[in-house]
Amino acid sequence: MADYWQRQYLLKNAERKYYGKIYCPLKKRLYHESRMHVAHFIDRSRMCTRYHPDNVHLISEQSNVWDARVQVEGYKSRHHKEYEEYLKEKIGEEKFENLLELSKQNCIFVKEDYIELIEKYRVDE
Protein backbone atom coordinates (compact mmCIF):
# COMPACT_ATOMS: atom_id res chain seq x y z
CA MET A 1 0.00 0.00 0.00
CA ALA A 2 2.85 2.41 0.76
CA ASP A 3 4.25 1.87 -2.76
CA TYR A 4 0.83 2.50 -4.30
CA TRP A 5 0.28 5.73 -2.37
CA GLN A 6 3.78 6.96 -3.05
CA ARG A 7 3.13 6.55 -6.78
CA GLN A 8 -0.19 8.41 -6.49
CA TYR A 9 1.56 11.21 -4.59
CA LEU A 10 4.31 11.50 -7.20
CA LEU A 11 1.78 11.53 -10.05
CA LYS A 12 -0.39 14.14 -8.32
CA ASN A 13 2.60 16.42 -7.75
CA ALA A 14 4.27 15.87 -11.11
CA GLU A 15 4.54 18.88 -13.34
CA ARG A 16 2.23 18.29 -16.28
CA LYS A 17 3.01 19.65 -19.69
CA TYR A 18 1.63 19.22 -23.19
CA TYR A 19 -1.70 17.29 -22.93
CA GLY A 20 -0.99 16.41 -19.30
CA LYS A 21 2.16 14.47 -20.06
CA ILE A 22 5.00 14.12 -17.55
CA TYR A 23 8.62 14.90 -18.32
CA CYS A 24 11.18 12.12 -17.90
CA PRO A 25 14.47 13.73 -16.86
CA LEU A 26 16.50 10.78 -18.14
CA LYS A 27 15.01 10.51 -21.63
CA LYS A 28 14.30 14.27 -21.80
CA ARG A 29 10.88 13.57 -23.30
CA LEU A 30 7.24 13.77 -22.27
CA TYR A 31 5.24 10.63 -21.53
CA HIS A 32 1.69 9.79 -20.56
CA GLU A 33 1.46 8.91 -16.87
CA SER A 34 0.75 5.28 -17.75
CA ARG A 35 4.28 5.15 -19.23
CA MET A 36 5.92 6.56 -16.10
CA HIS A 37 7.36 4.27 -13.45
CA VAL A 38 8.35 4.93 -9.88
CA ALA A 39 12.07 4.31 -10.23
CA HIS A 40 14.51 3.83 -7.39
CA PHE A 41 18.13 4.76 -7.95
CA ILE A 42 19.16 2.54 -5.05
CA ASP A 43 17.36 -0.79 -5.21
CA ARG A 44 13.98 -1.02 -3.48
CA SER A 45 15.31 -3.81 -1.29
CA ARG A 46 17.37 -1.23 0.65
CA MET A 47 14.68 -0.13 3.08
CA CYS A 48 16.52 2.90 4.46
CA THR A 49 16.26 4.55 1.03
CA ARG A 50 13.21 2.81 -0.43
CA TYR A 51 10.89 5.77 0.21
CA HIS A 52 13.54 8.49 0.43
CA PRO A 53 12.54 11.44 -1.79
CA ASP A 54 16.06 11.74 -3.23
CA ASN A 55 15.99 8.09 -4.28
CA VAL A 56 12.53 7.83 -5.84
CA HIS A 57 11.43 9.58 -9.04
CA LEU A 58 9.00 9.24 -11.88
CA ILE A 59 11.05 7.88 -14.75
CA SER A 60 9.77 6.65 -18.09
CA GLU A 61 9.19 2.99 -18.76
CA GLN A 62 11.55 3.41 -21.72
CA SER A 63 14.43 4.14 -19.37
CA ASN A 64 13.42 2.05 -16.37
CA VAL A 65 12.76 -1.13 -18.37
CA TRP A 66 14.41 -0.93 -21.77
CA ASP A 67 17.48 1.22 -21.09
CA ALA A 68 18.06 -0.90 -17.98
CA ARG A 69 18.88 -3.75 -20.39
CA VAL A 70 21.54 -1.79 -22.28
CA GLN A 71 24.97 -2.37 -20.78
CA VAL A 72 27.35 0.55 -20.26
CA GLU A 73 30.88 -0.02 -19.05
CA GLY A 74 31.30 0.91 -15.40
CA TYR A 75 27.54 0.87 -14.68
CA LYS A 76 24.80 -1.71 -14.36
CA SER A 77 23.10 -0.21 -17.43
CA ARG A 78 22.46 2.92 -19.48
CA HIS A 79 19.51 3.64 -17.18
CA HIS A 80 21.74 3.56 -14.08
CA LYS A 81 24.38 5.77 -15.70
CA GLU A 82 21.83 8.39 -16.76
CA TYR A 83 20.02 8.18 -13.40
CA GLU A 84 23.28 8.74 -11.51
CA GLU A 85 24.16 11.75 -13.67
CA TYR A 86 20.68 13.20 -13.18
CA LEU A 87 20.73 12.69 -9.41
CA LYS A 88 24.16 14.23 -8.94
CA GLU A 89 22.99 17.29 -10.85
CA LYS A 90 19.62 17.48 -9.09
CA ILE A 91 20.67 16.95 -5.46
CA GLY A 92 24.42 17.60 -5.60
CA GLU A 93 27.43 15.40 -4.94
CA GLU A 94 27.29 15.65 -1.14
CA LYS A 95 23.62 14.64 -0.84
CA PHE A 96 24.24 11.91 -3.42
CA GLU A 97 27.09 10.47 -1.32
CA ASN A 98 24.93 10.73 1.82
CA LEU A 99 22.18 8.79 0.06
CA LEU A 100 24.67 6.05 -0.84
CA GLU A 101 25.84 5.87 2.79
CA LEU A 102 22.27 5.75 4.07
CA SER A 103 21.55 2.83 1.75
CA LYS A 104 24.25 0.78 3.48
CA GLN A 105 22.43 0.91 6.81
CA ASN A 106 20.07 -1.85 7.88
CA CYS A 107 16.51 -0.72 8.43
CA ILE A 108 13.51 -2.77 9.37
CA PHE A 109 10.04 -1.38 8.82
CA VAL A 110 7.23 -2.27 11.19
CA LYS A 111 3.51 -1.80 10.71
CA GLU A 112 3.58 1.72 12.19
CA ASP A 113 6.26 2.80 9.70
CA TYR A 114 4.07 1.75 6.80
CA ILE A 115 1.03 3.47 8.29
CA GLU A 116 3.05 6.66 8.63
CA LEU A 117 4.20 6.42 5.00
CA ILE A 118 0.68 5.78 3.75
CA GLU A 119 -0.62 8.79 5.69
CA LYS A 120 2.22 10.93 4.32
CA TYR A 121 1.61 9.97 0.70
CA ARG A 122 -2.13 9.39 0.65
CA VAL A 123 -3.73 11.67 -1.84
CA ASP A 124 -7.19 13.09 -1.54
CA GLU A 125 -9.17 11.51 -4.34
- Convert the pLDDT of each residue in 69-125 to its tens digit: 999 999 989 999 999 999 999 999 999 999 999 999 999 999 999 999 999 999 765
Q: Which pLDDT value is given to residue 39? A: 95
- Number of structural domains the chain divides into: 1
Residues contacting residue 3 through CB under 8 Å, at least 6 positions apart: 38
pTM of the model: 0.85
CA 114 to chain centre: 18
Are the C-beta atoms of residues 16 and 33 closer than 8 Å to each other?
A: no
Cα gap 29→40, rounded to integer Å: 19
Are the C-beta atoms of residues 100 and 42 closer than 8 Å to each other?
A: yes
Q: Which pLDDT value is given to residue 30? A: 95
Range of the domain at 55: 2-121
